[in-house]
Amino acid sequence: MAGTFHYGDESLSYHVIINPLLAKKIRIHIHPNSRIEVEAPENCSPIEIEQAILKRARWIAKQLDVAKQVRAHAQPREYVSGETHFYIGRRFQLCVIESKEMPSEVKLRAGRIEITTRSTDPASVRRRLNDWYKNKSSDYFQRRLELAAGNISWIDKTPPFKLIPMKKQWGSCSPDGVIHLNPWLIRAPVDCIDYVITHELCHLREHNHSKRYYELLQRHHPNWQHVKAKLDGMAELLLAA
């Protein structure tokens, strides 16, 4: 369900997602791509939704301005000290340390991603950072995959997975039951990572996006619509390279 409202001279569109897990409160989310999402409980009337939006119209406008500013500074990546990069949903400041004596390595330290390297050439720094993301995602995704699969009764054992860099997709499931995950997903928040993994696990039973598939996804991830919208809204920032 979608709608529009006016604030000043602007006509703004919003999308409504019904979340059966909500009791009464209507939640409003502004995603980085400026998508306005209204998360509403079941049996919430359009009038109640409109009233909630108008009540917070000023806050919505401010958040849209913030989202625009963030996107304006998101690209292009220069891979130099001071710019921010995502890791499991958090922003970390990049710190590039040039050293001929110290070993080349990448570490998380005090809110920073520190890259010690013999060359500060942006292409070299980018390669080291991306290799670090791949190593981290391999271990982290394995743990989250085991946890998600363990909570689904019809899965006998954790399926194998492969890391495949993709420009537009977060994951896929091959006909032979191998889960493919985009290593850049490691930049997303945990709930988004878990959503993608559950999404692909459900394809082990339903190899399409039919009604039965979405019923299965709803059963194992009741809040999937909101999390998907959140991930879609961050995609431009997370996939920036």
Map tokens 């809204």 to a residue.
Answer: 233
224, 232 Cβ separation under 8 angstroms? no
**Helix count and strand count (H, E) for the chain:** 6, 11
C-beta neighbour count of 227 within 10 angstroms: 21
Helix (H, G, I), strand (E, B) or coil at 82: coil
Q: Does the structure show a pLDDT above 90 at 102?
A: no
2 — pLDDT class (breaks 50, 70, 90): confident
Cα torsion 137, 143, 146, 148: sign: negative
Does the pLDDT of residue 21 top 80, yes or no? no
pLDDT of residue 145: 98
**Whether this model's pTM surpasses 0.75:** yes
Domains annotated for the chain, with CATH where assigned, are: 2-72 (no CATH), 84-132 (no CATH), 134-238 (3.30.2010.10)
Stretch among 60-64, 133-137, 202-206 having the lowest mean pLDDT: 60-64
pLDDT at residue 74 in the model: 58
pLDDT of residue 172: 95
Dihedral sign of CA atoms 191, 192, 194, 199 in order = positive
191 vs 229: CA distance, rounded Å: 12
Give the model's pLDDT for residue 51.
Answer: 93
Provide the pLDDT for residue 241.
Answer: 63
**CB of 147 within 8 A of CB of 198?**
no
Q: Is 230 helix (H, G, I), strand (E, B) or coil?
A: helix
Lowest mean pLDDT among 60-69, 71-80, 182-191: 71-80
- The predicted pLDDT at position 8 comes to 85
